[in-house]
């Protein structure tokens, strides 16, 4: 039973992508279950089959421990680790062939605290993969794009699972801008040229050094453009995901 975790910066489109891809998989007659791992979310664009809020709710944590919203979010993220057995049981009981996991809004709460990698490791279902979302509007600037490469490499360094990269919300950009970002993702020379012409001085030097360092690690960022509004790219995501899951294809070369 493959388990795929959707991850990305706050507001990058994780939850809406989870909703759109779940609907698409169901239309393609695939048996899919959704998991909400965000203890702080108030409203979701899908009805999760498994919901961490049944065990940990950030609002309750805030009240019980007298914490502010950020303190409660951090504490809730840690408390989720104790619920792995319950979540595993709930996932088993959903009896699905394929599980999509929507992760907490603030990526650092999942990726950069101990609980996220612990949950990914402890959920005993195999194979596993991560989908990392590059927000198209944010990534249209080459300086921001390199920052996203850096974050994505940092996420890989935390989980060491096969990782697939999507360019989300492409309906918000002109086709030409989308093609350009996709080109950067497969051609370091094109990204270098964009940094050269569009980014100034210190920022440019820093970004170029950073992208070269990341490339030296042999990390791959081929972006598949998607929209959770128009469903563009979902067929391609399914194809790439199948290959990644079947072959256990690695993010590194």
Question: Which residues are near ligand GTP by CB under 6 A?
Answer: 8, 10-16, 105, 168-169, 171-172, 227-229
The distance of closest approach from Cβ of residue 102 to ligand GTP in the complex, given in angstroms and rounded to an integer, is 7
Which residues does 223 contact at the CB level (< 8 Å), separation at least 6?
134, 165, 166, 167, 181, 182, 185
Q: Give min distance, CB of 73 to Mg ion, in A.
A: 13
Which residue from 4, 9, 37, 38 is spatially nearest to 21, judged by alpha carbons? 4
With CA atoms as reference, report the closest residue to 233 among 178, 174, 187, 186.
Answer: 178
Q: For ligand GTP, give the closer residue by CB, 39 or 204.
A: 39
**Whose CA is closest to 225, among 162, 135, 130?**
135
Residue number with CB closer to ligand GTP (48 or 105): 105
- The least CB distance from residue 140 to ligand GTP, in Å, is 14
Contacted by 13, from ligand GTP, Mg ion, none: CB < 5 to 8 Å by type = ligand GTP
Minimal distance, residue 226 CB to ligand GTP, in Å: 7
The listed partner (Mg ion, ligand GTP, none) that binds 139, CB under 5 to 8 Å by sort, is none
Smaller CB distance to Mg ion: residue 109 or 199? 109
Residue 228 binds: one of ligand GTP, Mg ion, none (C-beta under 5 to 8 A by kind): ligand GTP
Residue, CB closest to ligand GTP:
105
Q: Near Mg ion by CB under 5 A, which window of 6-14, 25-33, 116-124, 156-164?
A: 6-14
d(CA 50, CA 88): 9
Q: Does 15 bind Mg ion (CB under 5 A)?
A: yes
CA 65 to chain centroid, in Å, comes to 30
Helix axes 201-216, 188-198, angle to 10 degrees: 170
**Closest distance of CB 60 from Mg ion, Å:** 19
Of the candidate spans 11-19, 23-31, 164-172, 224-232, the one that interacts with Mg ion by CB under 5 A turns out to be 11-19
**What number of CA atoms fall less than 13 Å from residue 70's CA on the CB side?**
1
Neighbouring C-beta atoms of residue 51, cutoff 10 Å = 19
The reply on whether position 18 binds Mg ion by CB under 5 A is no
Counting beta carbons within 10 angstroms of the beta carbon of residue 4, is it exposed (0 to 12), middle (13 to 18) or buried (19 or more)? buried
Give the tokens for residue 2: 């493959």
Residue whose CB is less far from ligand GTP, 203 or 229 = 229
- Provide the binding-site residues for Mg ion, judged by CB under 5 A: 14-15, 105
């Amino acid at each position: 039973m493959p388990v795929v975790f959707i991850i990305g910066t706050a507001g990058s489109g994780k939850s809406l992508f989870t909703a759109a891809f779940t609907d698409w998989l169901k239309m393609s007659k695939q048996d899919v279950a959704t998991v909400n791992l965000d203890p702080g979310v108030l409203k979701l664009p899908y009805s999760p089959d498994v919901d961490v809020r049944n065990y940990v709710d950030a609002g309750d944590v805030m009240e019980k421990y007298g914490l502010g919203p950020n303190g409660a979010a951090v504490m809730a993220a840690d408390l989720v680790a104790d619920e792995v057995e319950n979540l595993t049981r709930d996932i088993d009981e959903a009896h699905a062939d394929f599980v999509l996991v929507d992760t907490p809004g603030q990526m650092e709460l999942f990726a950069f605290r101990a609980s996220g990698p612990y949950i990914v490791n402890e959920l005993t279902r195999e194979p596993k993969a991560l989908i990392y979302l590059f927000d198209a509007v944010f990534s249209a600037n080459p300086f921001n794009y390199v920052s996203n490469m850096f974050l994505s490499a940092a996420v890989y360094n935390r989980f060491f699972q096969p990782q697939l990269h999507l360019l989300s919300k492409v309906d918000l950009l002109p086709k030409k801008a989308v093609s350009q970002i996709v080109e950067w993702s497969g051609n370091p020379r094109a990204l270098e040229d964009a940094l050269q012409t569009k980014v100034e001085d210190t920022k440019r030097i820093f970004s170029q050094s950073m992208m070269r360092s990341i490339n030296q690690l042999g990390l791959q960022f081929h972006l598949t453009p998607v929209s959770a509004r128009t469903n563009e790219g979902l067929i391609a995501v399914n194809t790439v995901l199948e290959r990644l899951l079947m072959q256990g294809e690695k993010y590194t070369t």
